[in-house]
Chains A and B, each alone.
Chain A
Amino acid sequence: DGGITQSPKYLFRKEGQNVTLSCEQNLNHDAMYWYRQDPGQGLRLIYYSQIVNDFQKGDIAEGYSVSREKKESFPLTVTSAQKNPTAFYLCASSPRTSESGKEYFGPGTRLTVL
């Protein structure tokens, strides 16, 4: 988990509220990612960013939004449009120049909708 921090560790949201999950990295990586993890479904890509001020939708972007104003930060907002947001959210980063490189993961944020 070293080098990437996610906060908070646990987050509770009422229905209809937007919430923002924080992801910060000090690895000087260009690429950053957000994944959602549900039991038995592995990881699904929400959004990714290759460079500051640029990001792309992943497989399940509906109901989520991101920004990449700084290289080290990639916050994820879970909007009220996301119908089933309760899940474990993982942020990751990797060097942009190495497609064979591994991804480095943060410790995750568990979001629960009350």
Chain B
Amino acid sequence: AQSVAQPEDQVNVAEGNPLTVKCTYSVSGNPYLFWYVQYPNRGLQFLLKYITGDNLVKGSYGFEAEFNKSQTSFHLKKPSALVSDSALYFCAVRPRGYSSASKIIFGSGTRLSIRP
């Protein structure tokens, strides 16, 4: 079965330190990869996506993600965390070759907490 794993329910980082939110996937082929962020009682906001090309993708709010094909991972990173980065982060994967309305598979989410 196709799946997306976010192994950490919560990540705690001090402000100013680098952060990593992990994501691995089990999807056949070369899927499209996404990161979304959710603030309390809000919808999801798009951060970045990987389609092809450079393995390091840059996105909104200073976030970036590194695609590793051999490890089927797409970890979210930021060099210097801000307290305002505290939110729920979702990794998502859409298989290639499907119609555009095919299912995006979401991970279970990782709560990022940045302490001052």
> A-side interface residues toward B, CB under 8 Å?
1, 4, 6, 9, 30-31, 33, 35, 40-45, 48-50, 56, 58-59, 88, 90, 92, 94-108, 110
**Which of chain B's residues have a CB closer than 8 A to the CB of A58?**
103
Determine whether B99 belongs to the interface, using a CB cutoff of 8 Å to chain A: yes
Q: Do A41 and B43 have beta carbons less than 8 Å apart?
A: no
A42 in contact with B90 (CB, 8 Å): yes
Count, chain B residues at interface, CB 8 A = 26
Contact A40 B100 (CB under 8 A): no
Q: Do A99 and B98 touch (CB < 8 A)?
A: yes
Within the complex, what minimum Cβ distance (angstroms) separates A87 from chain B? Answer: 13
Tally the A-B contacts, defined by beta carbons under 8 Å. 79
Q: For chain B, residues 10 to 41, give those with C-beta under 8 angstroms from any C-beta of chain A.
A: 32, 34, 36, 41
* B8 contacts the other chain (CB 8 A): no
State the Cβ distance, B108 to closest chain A Cβ, in Å. 4
Known: A41-B108, A42-B107, A43-B90. A1 touches B100 (CB 8 A): no
Once the chains bind, are A110 and B41 in contact (CB under 8 Å)?
yes
Q: With the chains together, A102 CA to B43 CA distance in Å?
A: 14
Which residues of chain B are within 8 angstroms of A9 by Cβ–Cβ distance? 41
Q: Which residues of B contact A6 (CB under 8 A)?
A: 43
Q: Give Cα distance in the complex from A28 to B9, angstroms.
A: 36
Q: Contacts A42-B90, A90-B44, A108-B43; is A48 near B106 (CB within 8 Å)?
A: no
Q: Once the chains are docked, how many angstroms separate the CA of A106 from the CA of B45?
A: 9
Inside 8 A of B43's CB, which chain A residues have their CB? Answer: 1, 4, 6, 90, 92, 105-108
Check if B69 is an interface residue, CB within 8 A of chain A: no
A107 and B101 within 8 A (CB) = no
- Pick the contact of A48: B49, B90, B101, B108 (CB < 8 A): B101
